[in-house]
């Protein structure tokens, strides 16, 4: 009987790990989300910002959502936290003190398209986790979408 329970527990654990992995976005999905947001911003910036901030279903995929900053670090659209919109986030730092918005602005000016590592609170677990955001400069804004590194 104990071998059966041990085998059952092992299968349950593997299933939950596979299920959890399926619940998190991939780097390819982040790149695709940013590409879609860049096109939407180019087509109709006001509508795109409103949809992103309004958590329109086409802009939220599990833990993946876009965030848009102006070139001074002000948040102009946020797919999970509308309270950030309009705020100057240039000095916002992660758990390690990394001023990640300032770095994004610098990378956008120098590289245009880039991946950027930082730490952020996972809204599901409430734990600070390593995260990587894919960002693209799109005219006078920076469009990003990040994935947690599990």
pLDDT tens for 63-87 read: 899 999 999 999 999 999 999 999 9
- What class is the 25-148 domain? alpha beta
Burial class from Cβ neighbours inside 10 Å (0-12, 13-18, 19+) for residue 46 reads: exposed
Band of the pLDDT at 150, cuts 50, 70, 90? confident
Q: What's the whole-number mean pLDDT along residues 87-102?
A: 96
Two tokens, residue 86: 């309009």
**What are the tens digits of pLDDT across the range 136-149?**
999 999 999 999 98
Distances in Å between the Cα of 134 and the Cα atoms of 2, 8, 9, 30, 117 are 47, 39, 37, 6, 9
pTM of model > 0.85: no
Closest CA to 147 of 37, 53, 30, 22: 30
The per-residue pLDDT of the chain, averaged, comes to 87
Task: Give pLDDT, residue 22.
Answer: 64
- Spell out the domain ranges in the chain: 25-148
Task: Give pLDDT, residue 45.
Answer: 97
């Amino acid at each position: 009987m104990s071998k059966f329970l041990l085998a059952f527990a092992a299968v349950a654990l593997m299933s939950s790990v596979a299920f959890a992995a399926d619940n998190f976005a991939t780097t390819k999905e982040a790149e695709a989300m940013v590409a879609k947001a860049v096109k939407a911003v180019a087509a109709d910036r006001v509508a795109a910002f409103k949809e992103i901030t309004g958590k329109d279903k086409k802009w939220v995929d599990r833990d993946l959502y876009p965030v848009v900053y102006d070139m001074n670090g002000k948040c102009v659209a946020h797919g999970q936290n509308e309270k950030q919109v309009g705020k100057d986030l240039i000095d916002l730092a992660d758990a390690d003190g990394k001023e990640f918005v300032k770095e994004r602005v610098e990378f956008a000016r120098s590289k245009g398209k880039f991946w950027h590592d930082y730490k952020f609170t996972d809204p599901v677990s409430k734990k600070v986790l390593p995260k990587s955001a894919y960002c693209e400069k799109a005219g006078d804004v920076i469009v990003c979408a990040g994935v947690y590194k599990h």
